[in-house]
Amino acid sequence: MSEAGPHPSPTIEVPRLDTGSSFAKEAYAALKRAITAMDIYDHAREIRLDERRLSEGLGVSRTPIREAMTLLEQEGFVRTRPRRGIFVVRKSKREIVEIITVMAALESMAARLAAERASAGEIAGLRGLMDDFRHGNDGERLAEYSDANIAFHQAIIKMGGCGLLAEMTENLFIHMRAIRKITIHQENRAARSITDHMRIIEALECRDPGLAERLAREHALGLAAHVEQYGDFLDASRGDAQSGATVTPAPTLPAPASGGGKGRGNDDSKGRQR
């Protein structure tokens, strides 16, 4: 991976909660969405989640934040480190390769199903998403293409029309999104990605399930091979983080602008908050 200047500290962007349902449930959903949206491998610093700042940002007490963190830890999104705090989980290179391999199986099946089930409008939408990047300008618009790349993969899963398959990919998406975001800048992967995507779209348009499945699988396994070759930075940053010596936790939640949420369960002494 090429050296670059220091990246700004990552932040979690979460909206203040405004709901009559369980605060813990809503806090869990908001935090999970925010963590999934972060680029967790695009910097060397750990991402620490501060209960006080999250409480202030979401406009609830710390009790529902703690309950949400318990659920997120059970799902593997965060990890508690004694005397250090709660941190977003980052995977090793080997773990990332395994995640991509599993996603190759799931995405290829989604592509097969999409060839059979997706509407012509949905497939046309995929082509429209990629057409804007086909004429050699992706190098100047990598940030835009990175977002389009992620949207493409999300769309394939959705177009498969299998709810369980979509559910199985949900908790892997935080890592897949982050790895796709960082690797798209390496070794001319954007150009190759566009070519692969267009071939998958053509297979969908031809309603060829076998070809769509094979192309989607090969595309994902190509990413796995890339991470295998160029992903040593994953273990380097992970090792630095786990040593506990020089890692500075990144700030995670700037307090949102003033708004709703006042007076909603801000006293933990009152017991379990809703």
- Express each pLDDT in 21-35 by its tens digit: 578 888 999 998 888
pLDDT digits (tens, 9 = 90+) for 213-241: 999 999 999 999 999 999 998 887 555 44
The per-residue pLDDT for 245 is 31
Mean pLDDT value of segment 262-274: 40
CA distance 261 to 144: 34
User: Once rounded to an integer, what is the mean pLDDT over residues 43-60?
Assistant: 87
Percentage of the chain modeled with pLDDT above 90: 48
Between 205 and 6, the more confident residue is 205
User: Looking at the predicted structure, is the pLDDT value of residue 12 above 90?
Assistant: no
Query: How far is residue 112's CA from residue 156's CA, in Å, rounded to a whole number?
Result: 10
Report yes or no: 108 and 120 within 8 Å, Cβ to Cβ: no
Task: Report pLDDT digits (tens) over 141-157.
Answer: 788 898 899 999 999 99
Q: What is the pLDDT of residues 89-128, one digit of tens each?
A: 999 999 999 999 999 999 999 999 999 999 999 999 999 9
- Which of 152, 153, 112, 159 is closest to 132 using CA atoms? 152
